[in-house]
Structure formats: structure tokens, C-alpha cells
Amino acid sequence: MEIIQIPVLRDNYIYLLHDSTSGVTAVVDPAEAAPVLEVLKRRGWSLTHILNTHHHADHVGGNRALKQATGCRIYGLSAATEWIPGLDENVGEGDPVQLGNVLGKVFEVPGHTRHHIAFWFPEEQALFCGDTLFGMGCGRLLGGCAEQLWVSLDRLRQLPGDTRVFCTHEYTQNNGRFALTVDPDNIELKDRVRRVDAERANGRATVPLLLRDEWATNPFLRPESQGIRIRLGMLAETNQAVFTELRRRKDVF
């Protein structure tokens, strides 16, 4: 499966997924239609699917125009039917998503919103997680709650370390700055922040991410860390409590 990353708006990413054998092409979270149509035309691809992780405007803004222009079908969580423009196919936990010869699977990962899903393609080791997991960070609570988001992240961190994480915002640099405030003695974190700063200074994307890098440097996936717990004064608290405090601090960072 070929994956094309399209930067749009201020810091969003749209993804085109193309199976060259069948010609099937999907777009994940199209904030806008025009940039997608431009890439499709340039590559000679025909759009067949839209995969929406959640209903926010910067993820579904291009739905109707793309559907009108291409006749594609739109896939999203059944519970979010009334909020996702043009939704055709209701999907939920465990449902398969077939893109030609490539088989994906739906995970329900609420927290950022109450109704949020991710698309996992195991043979490609590719996860399209919307606004649930970011580089060295996670989504804000915009309808969901901290308990839901921690359960979702705990699930995603169980995936293989070589999983490529295709999140939908370029937030890595700012997230790294926050991570250093709660995990300042983490050598791998310091090294990663330096690399990210260099990449952004040269105009390069920091996404996709490798999950193993998140294991080592993302405080929201590391509530067990003694260093983080000492920093927060929460040595005896649950992972859920530590995560909730991290999210609270990031909200006011």
C-alpha cells in the first residue's frame, strides 16, 4: 500500500492510501477537498473510500466535495452518523476495512471525542489514529474523558514497536517541550527533541512516528515511569491518575 501525506491548513495531515494492484484509493480525514483532488489527478488515481476517524471539521471538511467529485463512499463510526457529512458505511469495533488487497481493522478509541476510531492495517504496520495519539503527546479532551483516553492509548501502545503511526497534526515539537517538563532526565527524550527541532527548522515533517519511539519518549504512554511519578509527586497513584494529571498539565502548558 502506497501512502501519500498531504499537509493542509496550518498543521493538519491528510493521507491517501493506494493499492496499486486493484487501483483502490482511500483518503483518511480529508480536511479539504482541493489538495486531495490535485494529488489524485497528478497520480491518475480514482478515489474510492473516505475513512473518517471522528467528526471534527478539520477531519471531515472535504467529505461532501470529494464524494460529489468522485462518487467515493464514506466510512465512519456508526455512533457519529449525524455528525459525519455524507456517511455511507457505519463501522465499529473490530469491523474489517478492505482496500483492494489490503485488509484493515477498526479500533474504537474514544477520549479526544466520545466517538473516535482508528484504522489499523497490520500487514502494512500502519495505524491511522486521528487525534488520539500524537508525537510525544495525545489528543485534548473535546467531548471524551481522561479515563476513556487512557484506555484507548493503553490499547494502542500494545501494538508492535515498528508500527508507523500516522496521526493528523504536526504537534510533535510543542509536545516535546512539554514532555521535558515532566520527564527532564530522559536521555532518549532529550535526543529526540533535538532531532525534532532540527527537522522542523528544515521544514520536514515529524510524522509518521514509530511506536517504539513513543514508548521511550511520550509521557502519556509512560505513566508507570518512576521519574515522571516523582516529578508529579504521584509515586503511589494509578496509571489512570498519573495520565489524568499529565493531561491536565498539558492543557495549561
pTM over 0.75: yes
Q: How far apart are CA 127 and CA 119, in angstroms?
A: 6
Domain ranges of the chain: 2-251
CATH topology of domain 2-251: Metallo-beta-lactamase; Chain A (3.60.15)
pLDDT digits (tens, 9 = 90+) for 59-100: 999 999 999 999 999 999 988 888 999 999 999 999 999 999
Identified catalytic residue from 18, 56, 115, 116: 56
The C-alpha cell at 163 is 508500527
In degrees and rounded to multiples of 5, residue 181 shows phi and psi of -75, -25
The reply to whether 59 belongs to the active site is: yes
Q: Is 95 a catalytic residue?
A: no
Could you report the per-residue pLDDT of 204-238, keeping only the tens digit for each? 999 999 999 999 999 999 999 999 999 999 999 99
Q: Would you say the C-alpha torsion 210, 23, 51, 38 has a positive or negative sign?
A: positive
Determine the Cα–Cα distance for residues 3 and 164; give it in Å rounded to an integer: 11
Known catalytic residue: 112? yes
d(CA 119, CA 52): 9
